[in-house]
């Protein structure tokens, strides 16, 4: 099927055409996929499908798009679209996708989307297509370039974002090297995590240091990935100094909200501060939306809101995600971002306006942090919160003891061959290993926790895990002492108990109740 678009001439008062001036003859053929089922959302046109595969042929007279679609049990459906060069306007590129507007009637424009194999071919295609633009598009493009020029003059380099990424990465590398590739629960506390019992006992510096600590490589990688994407935008919009203030403030409000949410929390990671950065971007767009070019406004608002809307509910569905920090950081970033957001053209802001903005921001920051700390102090007298914090201390203190106990189990001689050897190994189990695990059991059993709380369920599971480990050690000692290491029934009992203990330990690791 072949379709030739008629030439409709100029639409929307086009800018003067310059494409034919000094250009070499064009002759280009590239493989492409033609976008179909187009939809416009948040100001951007997107194709839902690229099933139409074929080629685009560009010359000095026309642009021909030849495609075919495979159909089950039927021959492929072919189509040719021949477009006159004078009807093609507003060519733009997005990665390996190329879009342009086609004059589809007097005053009417239809968007065409094609996707090339890579970015390089997309650039080649753009260079071969007409350069003419409509007056509306040219105006929007000039506004966009002027806006970008102004914020780039304000912040030529995004040094603060990359400095934060570097510090966070170096902290993780040092902790991973010290832990031989693994970062334990006690290691995060020693490094400065926001550990509720210690932070609320006066170690308030943990509110900030926790922002630069991460519990694993993936935790670090995804946080830094989002920070690089959002931080560079926020730093350009606000300037380096204001961006640093926003990041630190959101980190503090996130850490404080985390303690209000759960007094015994052991929280690490930059996610609270990153939510604050996203909130600040939204705040900037809300305050200066009338002067931010529409395309940039819609794009960054869509990205920020989409991440927030996705990440917050996801945090409620998964264990180990500190949504208190996310909400606190988001609130802090939104509130301070509204006050600190400078206009794109700083010459429009008087000195008095700037001084007032900074003064109100400082008052708000001090008031919010002071209010959250007062609320923490008021809540700290509640018995249930005191029990929760005490239980968290028991878990952290038991972490190192359990690590040593597991190491002692792994170092145990597996198959003693003599009677004396069997007696020695059985004695080692009863004299050293059993007391170690018994201390873990006893310290957990005596810890007081609020009834039917998450801590109560964790305590119950820990007691089951420690109790089954004690049974396994006693059964193993009896087998060794009775020389039953080859007895199939005994072996089956031990293997069943080992599998049960492994499952229980995996569950405790998932909950963060052991390391």
| Residues forming the active site | 271, 326
The pair phi, psi for residue 264, each rounded to 5°, is -100, 15
Beta carbons of 69 and 77 less than 8 angstroms apart:
yes
Calpha distance 485→483 (Å, rounded): 6
Q: What is the C-alpha separation between 508 and 462, in angstroms, rounded?
A: 7
Q: Are 344 and 147 in contact (CB under 8 A)?
A: yes
β-partners of residue 52 are 34
Phi and psi, residue 487, nearest 5°: -75, 120
Query: Tell me, what DSSP letter sits at residue 363?
Result: H
Q: Which two tokens stand for residue 375?
A: 């609320």
* C-alpha angle 395-456-451 in degrees, rounded to nearest 5: 140
Alpha-carbon distance of 36 to 329, in angstroms, equals 40
| Alpha-carbon gap, residue 40 to 447, rounded angstroms | 58
From 236, 228, 251, select the one nearest 330 (Cα to Cα): 251
Element (H, E) at 49: strand 44-59
**CB contact at 8 A, 247 and 164:** yes
Degrees to nearest 5, angle at CA 303 with 298 and 307 = 145
Helices and strands per DSSP (H, E), number in the chain: 17, 10
């Amino acid at each position: 099927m072949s379709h030739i678009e008629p030439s409709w001439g100029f639409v929307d008062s086009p800018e003067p055409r310059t494409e034919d001036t000094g250009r070499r003859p064009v002759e280009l053929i590239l493989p492409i996929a033609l976008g179909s089922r187009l939809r416009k959302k948040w100001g951007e046109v997107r194709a839902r499908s690229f099933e139409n595969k074929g080629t685009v042929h560009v010359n000095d007279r026309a642009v021909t798009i030849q495609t075919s679609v495979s159909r089950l049990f039927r021959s492929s459906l072919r189509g040719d679209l021949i477009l006159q060069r004078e009807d093609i306007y507003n060519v733009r590129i997005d990665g390996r996708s190329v879009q342009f507007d086609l004059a589809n009637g007097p005053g009417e424009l239809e968007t065409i989307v094609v996707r090339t194999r890579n970015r390089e071919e997309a650039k080649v295609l753009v260079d071969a297509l007409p350069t003419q633009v409509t007056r509306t598009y040219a105006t929007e493009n000039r506004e966009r370039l002027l806006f970008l020029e102004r914020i780039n003059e304000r912040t030529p380099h995004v040094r603060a974002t990359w400095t934060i990424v570097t510090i966070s990465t170096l902290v993780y590398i040092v902790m991973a090297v010290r832990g031989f590739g693994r970062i334990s629960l006690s290691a995060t506390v020693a490094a400065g995590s926001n550990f509720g019992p210690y932070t609320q006992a006066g170690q308030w510096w943990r509110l900030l240091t926790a922002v630069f600590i991460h519990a694993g490589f993936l935790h670090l990688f995804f946080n830094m990935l989002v920070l690089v994407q959002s931080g560079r935008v926020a730093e350009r919009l606000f300037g380096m100094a204001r961006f640093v203030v926003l990041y630190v403030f959101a980190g503090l409000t996130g850490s404080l909200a985390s303690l209000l949410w759960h007094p015994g929390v052991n929280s690490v990671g930059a996610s609270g501060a990153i939510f604050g950065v996203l909130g600040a971007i939204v705040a900037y767009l809300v305050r200066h939306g009338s002067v931010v070019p529409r395309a940039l406004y819609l794009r960054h608002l869509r990205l920020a809101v989409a991440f927030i809307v996705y990440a917050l509910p996801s945090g409620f569905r998964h264990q180990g995600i500190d949504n208190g920090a996310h909400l606190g950081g988001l609130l802090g970033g939104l509130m301070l971002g509204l006050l600190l957001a400078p206009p794109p053209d700083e010459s429009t802001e008087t000195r008095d306006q700037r001084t007032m903005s900074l003064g109100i921001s400082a008052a708000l920051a001090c008031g919010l942090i002071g209010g959250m700390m007062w609320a923490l102090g008021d809540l700290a007298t509640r018995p249930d919160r005191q029990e929760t914090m005490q239980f968290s201390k028991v878990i952290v203190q038991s972490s190192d003891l359990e690590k040593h106990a597991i190491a002692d189990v792994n170092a145990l001689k597996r198959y003693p061959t003599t009677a004396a050897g069997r007696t020695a190994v059985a004695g080692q189990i009863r004299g050293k290993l059993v007391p170690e695990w018994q201390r873990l059991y006893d310290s957990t059993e005596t810890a007081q926790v609020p009834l039917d709380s998450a801590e109560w369920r964790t305590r119950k599971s820990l007691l089951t895990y420690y109790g089954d480990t004690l049974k396994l050690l006693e059964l193993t000692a009896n087998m060794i002492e009775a020389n039953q290491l080859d007895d199939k029934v005994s072996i089956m009992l031990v293997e069943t108990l080992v599998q049960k203990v492994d499952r229980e330990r995996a569950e405790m690791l998932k909950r963060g109740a052991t390391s």
